[in-house]
Chains A and B, each alone.
Chain A
Amino acid sequence: MRIASAIASALAALSLASAASAQDFAITGATVATGDGSEPIENGTVVVRGGRVVAAGSGVAIPAGIQVYDGSGTWVTPGLFAAATDLGLWDVGAVAESNDVSAGNAPFSAALDVAPAINPASQHIAISREGGVTRATVMPATGSTIFAGQGAVIDLGADMDAVTRPRAFQFVEMGESGARLAGGSRTAAHALLRSALREAREYGGRAGIAGGTGRPAESRTGDDLPIDPRLAGRDQADRNSDVLLTRFDAAALVPVLEGSQPLYVHVERAADIRSALALTREFPGLDLVLVGVSEGWLVAREIAAAGVPVITMPLTDLPERFEELAATQSNAGRMKDAGVKVAIGLLMGMNQPRFAPQQAGNLVALNNVPGATGMTWGEAFAAITSVPAEISGMGGRAGVLRAGAMGDVVVWDGDPLEVSSAPVRVFIDGIEQPLDNHQSRLAERYRDLDESDLPKAYDW
C-alpha cells in the first residue's frame, strides 16, 4: 500500500509539474499566420494563457503581467497538423520488430487499434516536433485484408501521453491495393466491404447491449469514441456462422456504420472515387473521408457535392499505377477550386511529416506556372493546419490560432513554407517543447572531427 501510494503521489506530482509548465505568454511584432486560410498578418500578436490561445492577429491587447516575447523577424503560426501519418508506430522501417504499422499475420482487421501501440518516445515524433508538427492522425496500414483498423489523433508533446483521441477513424483500402488484398479484383473489395458492413449492421442491431445504440459514455475530451461494449466482453448476442469477420472486427465496424466513426477510404482512380462516394446510398450513415485521390480533379464537383473531404499527397504527378494515370500537381488546387475540402497528408514512411510545409509551398509555386492550379499561401498553409484538424474532428481546437484553441504555437525563423525556414520554438498546450533528438545530438557531436584527446564516444 505504501509503495502504491508513493507511486500515486509521484504521478500526481509529475502531472502537476507538467500542468505548471504551461506558460502564459504573448508574442509580439511577428508575422502571424492563423492557419484559417487567411493570408499572414504583419506585426501581429499571439496571446496564450492556461494552455489555450486567447487571441491572435493585429490590434490584440496584451494582458498585464504576462510574459512577452519579441517576435520581430519571426513568423508565428499554429502547430502543423499532419494528416494520416505513421508516427509512433515504427523506429526503423525495415526492422520488422520495430515496426507496428501493419499486422499482416493477425487474425483481426477492423478491430486493430493503433492507440496502445503508439510510442510517444519515438524519434520520429521528436524529429517531427522539431519540424513544427504538433498534432497528427496516426493511421495503420493494411495487412492481410482491406480493413487496416482504427487510427488515432495524437499530440507530439514530449511526454508519455500522446493519444488525444483513440479510435478516431477506420481505414479501408479500395482501388488497386484493396483489390489485391480482397482476393484479386475490385469486385472482391467491394463485396467484402459490403458484406462486412452488413455483418456489422446485423451484429449491432441484434446485440441489444446497453450503450450499443445509445449515447456514448462521457470521456476525457468530450467526443472520444468509447470502446464498444461488445469489445469489452459484454456481448451476449449470437451470430450467424456464415460470417467473414471475427466478432471483434464486426463490433469495430458498428460505429463506422452508424457514422460515429469516420471511414477513411483509400482510392486514386476517378471511377474508384465515384464508387466510394456511392457507398452512402447503401449505407447512409457512413461518414467518409477520401484518402489518396490523385485523380480527384476529374470528379472534383462530385466530391464537393457529396461534402466528402480529401487527404492527398499533392506532389504526386506520375502514373505510378494505372489508377493514377491523370496524376498532376494541380490536383489539390483544382479540387479546392471546385469546393472540396483538401488536406495535405499521407505523411508516412519516406514522406516525413516535417516535409508538409515543402509540399504546401510547392502548391503556392504552382500558381506561377501557366496552366497549373495551385493554392494561395493562406490556402496552402491551411491545408497543413486547420483543414486536416477539421477532418480529424479537431476543428477549431487544433491547427488554428483562434480564441479557445489549444495553445499549439510555433515560432519560425522565416516563412514556414520556405524550405530554408525552420521552427525556433514550439509550444504544445502552452508548454514549450524540447527540440533535440537523436539527429540533433549527432550533429552536435560531429560538428568537428577532433579526436586528439579522446574518441568521439566521450563527446556528449
Chain B
Amino acid sequence: MRAKPSIGRMAPCLLAALALSACATTGTTKNSSAATNGGAPYSSTYRAYPGAPTALVGATVFDGAGGRIENGTVLFAGGEVVAVGGADLAVPSGYTRIDGTGKFVTPGIIDAHSHLGDYPTPSVDAHSDGNEATSPTTPEVWAEHSVWPQDPGFSRAMANGGITSLMILPGSANLMGGRSVTLKNVPSRTVQGMKFPGAPYSMKMACGENPKRVYGSRRQAPSTRMGNFAVNRQTWLDAKKYAEEDSPDRDLAKETLVGVLDGEILIQNHCYRADEMALVLDMAKEMGYKVAAFHHAVESYKIADLLREADVCSAVWADWYGFKMEAYDGIPENAALIHKEGACVVIHSDSENGIQRLNQEAAKAQADGRRIGIDIPDAEVIRWITLNPARAMGIDARTGSLQQGKMADVVLWNGDPLSIYSRPEKVWVDGALMYDALDRKRRPVSDFELGQPGEGDVK
C-alpha cells in the first residue's frame, strides 16, 4: 500500500511484501540454500564512513531496549557504541562533545517493511520492480536485484525519519514473492554498497486477497484462499524433496526454500486476517519452518495470545483502515493490545511517506492504547521502531539498541521523538554523520534530483 492517495484513485492495494536476504552459507540438509562455496554472491561491499569519536551529553536517552536515561551520555567511536550511561559517565579525551540538553537520543530507526528502491520515485511504470507477478511462487527472485540506489526516498527516510536500516521486500502479488534485502540507509552507487553486512535473508510470503486476486483474475491457481494454501503446501513439499536429492541441478527457487527450512532464511509473511495467520502458523509447523513476522497484521489483536506463544512479531501500521476487505477490522488499538498480551510489536511503513514518520505512528499507537487503559512507557514504544524490527529482521545482535559494541546507528532528535513537533537533528550510521539539519551540505541528494527544481532543498 502507498499511503499517499493519487488523486482520483484509491492507492493501489497490490504492493506489500516482506522478505530479506542473508549470507546463508551452511545448512543442515543436503542441499543448503547457499549452494556455493565461494561466499555469498552479491555480497555487501558497504564500509562505514569515517566518523569522529562522539559524546552526546545531557539528552534524554531511549536505548531502544526499553531503557530511558535522563540527562544521559552516549559515547561512540570506531563505528561502535562505546558506552551509555548517566551524567556521571566520564567523557574520554579526544571525543567531540555535543550538547544534547533538551534533546533526545535514540538508536537509528529501523523499518522492517519498505519498498524503497523497488518501487522508487518517480513512480513510473519503468520503475515498477517490486512484484514478479508472473507466477504465484517466485522464491527465486531477490529484491536486491531490483533496488535502484538513486531512489530519492532513501534521503527523506533519513532526514525526516531518522531511518538507518531498512528491509526492502518484494511485493505481495505472489504467495512467495522472493528474497528481501536488508540495507543500511547510506547513499551508494550500488546496492551492494548499501547491503547490511551479515544480515540474514528473508523470504516474503503473502496471504489472502492479493495472490488470489492476481492469479484468479487470470483463471489460474490460486483463485481462493484454499488455493493459496494448496499451492504453498505443494511448493514446500517439492522443496523438501529437493533437499533430499543427491546432487540436483541448481534451482534458485528451491535454494531459497531450503534455506528457509534450514532456518537460515527468515519468513516475513504479509497477512491481515487473524484466522489466516493461525492457519499459516499451522502450515509452518507442518512444513518445519518458522515465521519471523506477520506484516500488515491488522487483526493480530484478535490472536495476540497465539502470536506470543508462537514467538512471532506483528509488523503493523498505527491506524490504516478499510482500504481493502481484509483491512476492515483494523483498529488503532492493535499495537497496544498485542503488546499487552506480551507479543512482539513492530511499527512498519510499507510507504515512502510513512517511513518518514515511524516515530509519529508509534506515538499514535501508544496513545490509542492509553485511551483504553493500556499504559505503555515511552521507552517501550521506541523499541517498536528500533530493537523489535531489528529482531524481526535478524539483525538485533548488531543494531537496534544503544548497547556497547553494537553499530553506532544513532539519532539526535531536536525534541521528544514521540511528539509531532520533533525532527531528527543529526543521524549517524556506524558512527559516521550522514545527516545534519544544521549543515546544509550534510544532506544526501540523489543523482535523480541534481539539476532539478529544488535540488538540495530541505524537503
Contacts and interface: CB of A to CB of B under 8 A. Distances in A.
B372 A443 contact: yes
B332 interface: yes
A358 B10 contact: no
A362 B420 contact: yes
Interface in A298-316: 298, 313, 315-316
Interface stretch (A53-61, A160-168, A195-203, A412-420): A412-420
Interface string A334-378: 000000000000101111100000100110111011111000000
A319 B8 contact: no
B122 A321 contact: yes
Contact of B457 (A101, A330, A447): A330
A142 to B, nearest CB: 5
A288 interface: no
Contact of B8 (A142, A321, A350): A142
Contacts of A91: 322
A318 B7 contact: no
A327 interface: yes
A137 interface: no
Nearest to A439: B331
Given A94-B324, A292-B7, A317 B459 contact: yes
B172 to A, nearest CB: 13
A7 interface: no
Nearest to A175: B7
Interface string B1-45: 111111111110100000000000000000000000000000000
A148 interface: yes
A237 interface: no
B459 A328 contact: yes
A127 B321 contact: yes
B13 A94 contact: yes
Interface string B369-396: 0111100000000000000000000000
B160 interface: yes
Contact of A318 (B10, B124, B353, B370): B353
Given A352-B321, A372-B458, A102 B301 contact: no
B59 to A, nearest CB: 16
A298 B8 contact: no
Nearest to A330: B458
Contacts of B8: 101-102, 141-142, 148, 173, 177, 266
A295 interface: yes
Contact of B437 (A90, A298, A315, A370): A370
A316 B121 CA distance: 12
B192 interface: no
Given A330-B457, A330-B458, A422-B371, A346 B5 contact: yes
A419 B459 CA distance: 21
Interface residues of B, number: 75
Interface in A35-85: none
B7 A177 contact: yes
Contacts of B371: 413, 422
B214 interface: no
The bracket for how many chain A residues form the interface is 35 or more
Interface stretch (B248-256, B261-269, B445-453): B445-453
Contacts of A95: 324-325
Interface string B409-425: 00000110011111100
Nearest to A317: B459
B158 to A, nearest CB: 13
Interface string A408-450: 0000010001111110000000000000001110111011010
B423 A365 contact: yes
Contacts of B140: none
Interface string B304-340: 1100000000000001111111011111110001000
B363 interface: yes
Nearest to B364: A419
B440 interface: yes
A173 B353 contact: no
A460 interface: no
Interface in B162-219: 209
A368 B414 contact: yes
Contacts of A365: 420-423
A329 B459 contact: yes
Contacts of A295: 453
A14 interface: no
A211 interface: no
B131 interface: no
B156 interface: yes
A288 to B, nearest CB: 16
Given A102-B8, A349-B9, A418-B419, A439 B304 contact: no
B284 interface: no
Contacts of B418: 419-420
B366 interface: yes
A11 B152 CA distance: 58
A320 B364 contact: no
Max count, chain A CB within 10 A of own CB: residue among B121, B452, B454: B454
A292 B5 CA distance: 11
Given A292-B7, A351-B3, 15 more contacts: A102-B9, A123-B322, A141-B9, A316-B353, A317-B156, A318-B121, A319-B448, A326-B452, A351-B5, A371-B458, A420-B366, A438-B328, A443-B372, A446-B302, A449-B304
Q: Which 6 A-B pairs have the closest CB atoms?
A: A349-B5, A141-B8, A361-B420, A326-B453, A420-B367, A326-B454
16 contacts: A123-B322, A317-B160, A318-B152, A319-B121, A321-B124, A325-B449, A361-B421, A370-B438, A370-B458, A419-B367, A422-B367, A446-B301, A446-B302, A447-B337, A449-B302, A449-B305
